[in-house]
Amino acid sequence: MVSPKQDIRIGFYVCHCGHNIASMVDCPAVAEYVGQLPGVVLSRDYKYMCSDPGQELIQKDIAEFDLNRVVVASCSPLLHEHTFRNAVAAGGLNPFLFHMVNIREHDSWVHTDRQEATAKAKGLARAAIVRVAHAKSLPVKKVPIHPDVLVVGGGIAGIHAALTLANAGKKVFLVEREPSIGGHMARFDKTFPTLDCAACILTPKMSEVGAHPNITLWSYSDVVKMDGYVGNYTVTVRRQPRYINEELCTGCQECIGNCIYKEPKFPDEFNEGLGKRKPVYISFPQATPQVVLIDPEVCLNFRHGVLTDKCKKTCVEACGDRKAIDFTQKVETREIKVGTIIVATGFKPFDVKRIPQYGYGSYPNVYTALEVERLVNASGPTSGDVILRDGRHPQAIAIIHCVGSRDKKTNRWCSRVCCMYSMKLAHLLKEHTGAEIYNFYIDIRAPGKGYEEFYDKLNEEGVHFIRGRVGEVTDWAMTPEEEGKLVIRVEDTLAGFVRRIPVDMVVLATGLEPQADSQDVRRLFNMSCGTEGFFLERHPKLAPVNTFTDGIFIAGCCQGPRDIPDTVAQAGAAAAEAMVLIDKGYIEQEPNTAYIQPDCSGCKSCIPLCPYTAIAFDATTQKAVINEALCKGCGTCVAACPSGSIGQNLFEDDEIFSEIDGLLTN
């Protein structure tokens, strides 16, 4: 170990990053300036420090010039600190004798004056040079990883990630909020562009999840708390009462047939309220787990959700010896330990009532796309017969694209799937009804395998495509043929005039937006969000399933709108990333832990402040003790200690103060 301030030999490198840095910062000037600073033995500028030759340069120089500190001024440490630490270690130095200066994100990319930017780069480099002299050799901290995985969300993303991990022999907990897994995909009729039936391709995977020995499936449950750190998370899951014992229920559904309500009476959530269900129900025929549940809000044995026991309980009679019905069930909480977590909480369809001019809610024959998915589905409320809310069969149908997408008043982003699912619905509606179908679009976005061909096919089927954003849907007739119809008022921008088109049915192609509680989920798992509210990936191109919290991965539409193939690919990627950690068996952590110095007065003020309960009090020495395995290096105790008796590796006082000095002196 090199003792500080004694024979410091610093090597400094400034990276051009192609033009990213060099266009705004005079890199040779920075290198020349730093070369004159005390302790600097060597100062170079180089086009790409992160390249193999760049890294080899560092290694060669360490040997040749006997360097014992290295500073690289380049991009964000988030991108390449790891690269350079490895290069320094390969050169025979302790990796923590390296310091990185960000002159790209913090300098060249955000400034427009080359002279000022160069001066700033010099200042930042100077601060790092004086700081790095105080750097200490530190050991890399290794922490074992718990091999179990938690997957949050049982849509196609969660299902695929859970199955991938389980098939690799990992134990998986799959937590789903709804009574059944399947998510939005389970409600779709067909999938574009191949038109294979969504249920046919999804339900085998669902039952595989239900039967897999490595998967613990908790439906009707949600995660309420997460503690710990990568490799060692403690998660609290809340299980809602189904009033059915999952172990005893066989899924025979005799209770449903024998319910005191002879006819289904309550809006069926799975069918978007278009169908009816009883108080005791199963979401859909292929629901997984095949377990019924009782809705205490409408069951006669409850009153406003509180058990009254006043019903004749014909369901219990029907259940008989199976004794699966248990009206006394309460909310249960379970605590589990996992090493990694995959968040796949999906999306929420845009609320079409936010665009009142399209008439949803006022005109009964205006539908959302998801409603139409159920309407054309053979197991839907009408068994696939497209009957409008007023009982008619439609002769002409309008499909309005971009409802709640590409609109600064609602959601700015393109929801990516609406063009394709609108065309799929156009095809299905034409097939089911033979009606004239009009698509109103801004642009047709069909960027996928077989997607453009599908668009072509729709054109050849005689579906009308009218380019223009619909102004309004109205029932106010201006001509006789518009009487009794819904009229679409739109500029046909390709023909060059405004048109009024009477139709019987309007389908709103709703966009995708973050789940209503996405902010809570974000906080729960310590993730970040973009401005639109979708969970933020660590890097948009190179780390698309990682988050800024190690060991937490994202997959599917919770990260941004995407179609099923992309979701499945991403879920597979998230599973693979989790396995990278699990199979390695341990993780290397930053040795940024706090430590108690001998002059601790034992005042105990740090103990309640530690968010990770890493500090305990040693009664024999009358001093605080930090459990290094639990310390996350947040620095709260360091700042709070009244006697300044807590130090922190990588953030020593002399390191920080010398850096500030370096920045302020000229």
Residues forming contacts to other proteins in the complex (CB under 8 A) are 444, 455-456, 459-460, 462, 464-467, 478-482, 492, 494-502
505-510 and 366-368: which strand pairing?
parallel
Query: Between 378 and 498, whose beta carbon lies closer to other proteins?
Result: 498
Query: Between 491 and 590, whose beta carbon lies closer to other proteins?
Result: 491
3-state secondary structure 255-269: HHHCCCCCCCCEECH
- Cα torsion at 419, 420, 424, 426 (round to 10°)? 20
Provide the angle, in degrees to the nearest 10, between the axes of the packed helices 198-211 and 156-167.
40
586-589 and 141-144: which strand pairing?
antiparallel
**36 contacts 10 by C-beta, under 8 angstroms:** no
DSSP 504: S
Q: 3-state class of 487 per DSSP?
A: strand
**222 contacts 235 by C-beta, under 8 angstroms:** no
In order of 371, 398, 439, 446, the CA distances from 432 in angstroms are 15, 15, 17, 24
Query: Between 292 and 488, whose beta carbon lies closer to other proteins?
Result: 488
CB of 395 to other proteins, least distance (A): 12
CB of 455 to other proteins, least distance (A): 7
The H or E element that residue 514 is part of is strand 512-514
Cα gap 557→415, rounded to integer Å? 10
Query: Between 106 and 500, whose beta carbon lies closer to other proteins?
Result: 500
**313 contacts 471 by C-beta, under 8 angstroms:** no
The H or E element that residue 508 is part of is strand 505-510
Query: Between 482 and 590, whose beta carbon lies closer to other proteins?
Result: 482
What type of residue is 633? G
Cα gap 519→540, rounded to integer Å? 20
Cα gap 603→619, rounded to integer Å? 12
CB of 99 to other proteins, least distance (A): 55
Cα gap 509→420, rounded to integer Å? 10
Query: Between 479 and 620, whose beta carbon lies closer to other proteins?
Result: 479
CB of 507 to other proteins, least distance (A): 19
CB of 482 to other proteins, least distance (A): 7
CB of 357 to other proteins, least distance (A): 18
Q: 3-state class of 358 per DSSP?
A: helix
CB of 363 to other proteins, least distance (A): 18
**Which residues, 6+ apart, have CB-to-CB distance to 418 below 8 Å?**
369, 401, 402, 403, 405, 509, 510, 511
CB of 498 to other proteins, least distance (A): 4
Query: Between 293 and 446, whose beta carbon lies closer to other proteins?
Result: 446
CB of 497 to other proteins, least distance (A): 5
Query: Between 458 and 568, whose beta carbon lies closer to other proteins?
Result: 458
Closest CA relative to residue 577, chosen from 155, 149, 68: 149
Query: Between 13 and 455, whose beta carbon lies closer to other proteins?
Result: 455
Token readout for 475 is: 């029932």
Q: How many CB atoms lie within 10 A of CB 53?
A: 11
CB of 476 to other proteins, least distance (A): 13
**515 contacts 560 by C-beta, under 8 angstroms:** no
CB of 496 to other proteins, least distance (A): 6
CB of 479 to other proteins, least distance (A): 5
Query: Between 314 and 395, whose beta carbon lies closer to other proteins?
Result: 395
Query: Between 467 and 623, whose beta carbon lies closer to other proteins?
Result: 467
Task: Name residue, tokens 């199963």.
Answer: 282
CB of 462 to other proteins, least distance (A): 7
Query: Between 213 and 480, whose beta carbon lies closer to other proteins?
Result: 480
* Burial state string for 434-461 with b = 16 or more CB within 10 A and e = fewer than 16: ebbbbbbbbebbbebeebeebbeebeee
Query: Between 478 and 639, whose beta carbon lies closer to other proteins?
Result: 478
**Helix count (H) and strand count (E) of the chain?**
15, 36
CB of 402 to other proteins, least distance (A): 17
Query: Between 212 and 489, whose beta carbon lies closer to other proteins?
Result: 489
Query: Between 500 and 623, whose beta carbon lies closer to other proteins?
Result: 500
- For the chain, helix, strand, coil in percent to 5 are 30, 25, 45
CB of 485 to other proteins, least distance (A): 9
Query: Between 325 and 435, whose beta carbon lies closer to other proteins?
Result: 435
CB of 276 to other proteins, least distance (A): 37
**Which residues, 6+ apart, have CB-to-CB distance to 601 below 8 Å?**
642, 643, 645
CB of 189 to other proteins, least distance (A): 25
In order of 387, 418, 454, the CA distances from 373 in angstroms are 13, 13, 18
Query: Between 431 and 481, whose beta carbon lies closer to other proteins?
Result: 481
Q: How many CB atoms lie within 10 A of CB 234?
A: 13
**625 contacts 615 by C-beta, under 8 angstroms:** yes
- Cα torsion at 493, 496, 501, 505 (round to 10°)? -10
Q: How many CB atoms lie within 10 A of CB 390?
A: 11
